[in-house]
Amino acid sequence: MSKFAGGLSIGLVWILVFLLPVVTVLAAGQAPSAPGFGARERIARAVDRVLKAGLQAKIPPHVSEMLRISADLKECPVAQRFERSGKLVRGFNVSITDKNNIVLFVANEATNEQTYYLTSGLGGLGRVVAAREGTGHVLRVTAREKAAFERELKFWLDRIVPARTSK
């Protein structure tokens, strides 16, 4: 074996031993947390069903702008499915102009509070807007917000496209 080939092999070993684990740890630490393939498939089916059979609605201009799904204070037309339980209203909205913009919302009519969660077909939480008495604020995505979003997403997927059960 030539001196050059031996030096190349040792250099390659050093890269694999020391650099590869560091790159792997860094990449794993920054990987977005999104549902697995099965959940993404259910989200895609839910989007299709809501686009075909959902009610026509609009997300208000100020909320659309804070969610970054429309510009210039314009309403965002959506296909919507919603459920009411007493004073609590929940919704699953799919943008008519971009089906990758999916907005889940929870509105408490007793306290006049609304929370909007922006997601996509991948199922990760993109943005959260909370409104109280007509004034909205973009919230930082925290573990608490993420957990609330995941509960809402599960709520809607279980209703629109129930998971297959094995017998």
Looking at the fold, whether 48 and 24 belong to one and the same domain comes out as no
Confidence band, pLDDT 50/70/90 cuts, at residue 140 = very high
How many domains, the chain?
Answer: 2
> Residue 16 has which token pair?
């694999």
State whether 76 and 1 are in the same domain. Answer: no
Helix and strand counts by DSSP (H, E) for the chain: 5, 7
Q: Based on the domain organization, do 21 and 46 belong to the same domain?
A: no
3-state secondary structure of 150: helix
Q: What is the pLDDT of residues 44-101, one digit of tens each?
A: 999 999 999 999 999 999 999 999 999 888 999 999 999 999 999 999 999 999 999 9
User: What's the rounded Cα separation, in Å, for the pair 150 and 167?
Assistant: 27
Cβ count near 83 (within 10 Å): 12
Question: Within this chain, do residues 66 and 115 fall inside the same structural domain, yes or no?
Answer: yes
Per-residue pLDDT, 164: 72
Q: Are residues 51 and 112 in the same domain?
A: yes
- Structural domain including 129 reads 37-160
27 and 96 belong to one structural domain: no
**Is the pLDDT at 2 greater than 80, yes or no?**
no
Q: Is residue 165 part of a domain?
A: no
Residue 109 contacts by C-beta under 8 Å, 6 or more apart in sequence?
Answer: 87, 88, 89
Per-residue pLDDT at 73:
86
Q: Is residue 166 part of a domain?
A: no
Tell me: the pLDDT tens digits for 5-17?
A: 555 444 433 333 3
Identify whether 99 is part of a domain. yes
The residues, ordered by sequence, that sit 6+ positions from 167 with a Cβ below 8 Å of its Cβ are none
Whole-angstrom CA distances from 50 to 35, 83, 137 are 20, 13, 27
The fraction of the chain above a pLDDT of 90, given in percent, is 68
pLDDT surpassing 70 at residue 30: no
- From CA 95, how far away is CA 114, in angstroms rounded? 18
Q: In the chain, what percentage of residues exceed pLDDT 70?
A: 76
**Same-domain check for residues 122 and 99:** yes
Same structural domain, 27 and 82: no
